[in-house]
């Protein structure tokens, strides 16, 4: 799925199309997502206007008049804005009909995504409450990242992918950030020096920023709201490049598995 850059690209694509639009109806074609779509949801949303399209970690938040729609794209989800009446394809789950004759359509083959609604402050929602600060929030500093790594026995890659500690970084960008920082993914988090933590902090922000600029990374499913893929895949240094030459030093990239997730690194550039 979509990691932070793909969700942010989606948010930026949706915001101008959805902001100030009124919801005419919600059609649920297939309620089976990570959690079933609440049968009461269409009645709750009808008539509300979309005030803002925000993002928290990898969640999209549609701020409505009375509440917030919380969307997650899971591993394979995507959102498109289409003219009403566009024929449905396999795995189209939801259509949010808008007052301008368009609709917001959620497609998610693997059904790991979700669509939830709350009328409480979204930051208090159980799914959002424990999330770490955003990578571009002033609270996420090199010193804060270094402090997180102290006394932790998990690998630094697993730490990066733990949303309670760092948000927005998934399997692709964890490998890419560690390459840029020159740190091997299998290192115990607590073994990082302050200088390494600082390099990693900078690398996380750089790789996310560059990926957003490229419209995210499309491996298989991901498309932005206009239906276009992201172009960061061509800029990846290590992810899915096992056996290929390191772009920096020429050494073959290695792959290994951490916590059931594929990990890629350059044995020469990363120590």
Please tell me the distance from the alpha carbon of residue 150 to that of residue 191, in angstroms, as a whole number: 8
What is the rounded CA–CA span in Å between residue 268 and residue 266?
Answer: 5
51, 65 contact by CB (below 8 A): yes
Which lies closer to DNA via its Cβ, residue 139 or residue 260?
Answer: 260
Strand order in the sheet with 50-56: 50-56, 59-64, 68-72, 114-118
Express the helix, strand and coil content of the chain in percent, nearest 5 each.
Answer: 25, 25, 50
Is 110 a binding residue for DNA by CB under 7 A? The answer is yes
With contacts defined by CB under 7 A, name the span among 46-54, 79-87, 137-145, 254-262 that binds DNA.
Answer: 254-262
The Cα-based distances of 31 to 123, 229, 260 in angstroms read: 25, 26, 29
Question: Does residue 261 carry a catalytic annotation?
Answer: yes
Q: Measured from the CB atom, is 66 or 129 closer to DNA?
A: 129
- In the sheet where 78-83 sits, what is the strand order? 23-28, 92-98, 102-107, 78-83
260 binds DNA (CB under 7 A): yes
Cβ-based neighbour number of residue 95 at 10 Å: 19
Is 16 assigned a catalytic role? no
Sketch the per residue contact string, 12 through 51, with DNA: x for CB under 7 A, - otherwise. --------------------x-x-----------------
- What's the rounded Cα separation, in Å, for the pair 155 and 162? 11
* Residue 14, C-beta contacts closer than 8 angstroms, at least 6 positions apart: 53, 60, 79, 81, 104, 225
- Residue closer to DNA, measured from CB, 20 or 193: 193
8 Å CB contact between 20 and 33: no
Q: Would you count residue 206 as binding DNA (CB under 7 A)?
A: no
By CB under 7 A, is residue 262 in contact with DNA? yes
Point out the catalytic residue in the list 58, 102, 105, 241.
58
From 15, 75, 82, 210, residue interacting with DNA (rule: CB under 7 A): 75
Verify whether residue 135 is a known catalytic residue: no
Residues 116-155, mask of contacts with DNA (x by CB under 7 A):
----------xx------------------------xxx-
Q: Is 89 in the site for DNA (CB under 7 A)?
A: no
Which residue's CB is nearer to DNA, number 2 or number 135? 2
Nearest one of 47, 80, 78, 83 to 65, comparing CA atoms: 47
**How far is it, in rounded angstroms, from Cα 70 to Cα 96?**
13
Please give the size of the binding site for DNA, defined by CB under 7 A: 43
Active site residue 36: no
Closer Cβ to DNA, 97 or 187, answer by number:
187
Q: Closest approach of Cβ 167 to DNA, in Å?
A: 8
Options 14, 161, 177, 203; binder of DNA; rule CB under 7 A: 161
Give the interface with DNA as residue ranges (CB under 7 A): 1-3, 6, 32, 34, 57-59, 72, 74-76, 90-91, 109-112, 126-127, 152-154, 158, 161, 163, 170-172, 189, 216-222, 230, 259-262
Enzyme catalytic residues: 2-3, 58, 261
């Amino acid at each position: 799925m979509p990691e932070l850059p793909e969700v942010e690209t989606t948010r930026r694509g949706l915001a101008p199309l959805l902001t100030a639009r009124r919801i005419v109806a919600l059609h649920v074609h297939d309620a089976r997502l990570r959690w079933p779509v609440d049968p009461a949801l269409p009645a709750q949303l009808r008539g509300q206007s979309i005030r803002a399209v925000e993002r928290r970690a990898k969640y999209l938040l549609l701020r409505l008049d009375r509440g917030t729609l919380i969307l997650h794209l899971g591993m394979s989800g995507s959102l498109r804005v289409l003219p009403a009446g566009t024929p449905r394809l396999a795995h189209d789950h939801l259509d949010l009909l808008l007052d301008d004759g368009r609709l917001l359509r959620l497609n998610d083959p693997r059904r790991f995504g979700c669509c939830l609604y709350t009328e409480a402050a979204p930051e208090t929602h159980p799914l959002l409450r424990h999330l770490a600060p955003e990578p571009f929030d002033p609270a996420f500093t090199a010193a804060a990242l270094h402090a997180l790594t102290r006394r932790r026995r998990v690998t630094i890659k697993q730490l990066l992918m733990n949303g309670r500690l760092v948000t927005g970084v998934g399997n692709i960008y964890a490998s890419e950030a560690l390459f840029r920082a020159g740190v091997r993914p299998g290192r115990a988090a607590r073994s990082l020096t302050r200088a390494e933590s600082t390099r990693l902090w900078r690398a996380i922000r750089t790789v996310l920023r560059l990926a957003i600029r490229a419209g995210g990374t499309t491996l298989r499913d991901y498309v932005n709201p206009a239906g276009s893929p992201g172009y960061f895949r061509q800029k990846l240094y290590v992810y899915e490049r096992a056996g290929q030459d390191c772009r920096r030093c020429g050494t073959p990239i290695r792959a290994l598995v951490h916590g059931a997730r594929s990990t890629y690194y350059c044995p020469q550039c990363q120590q």
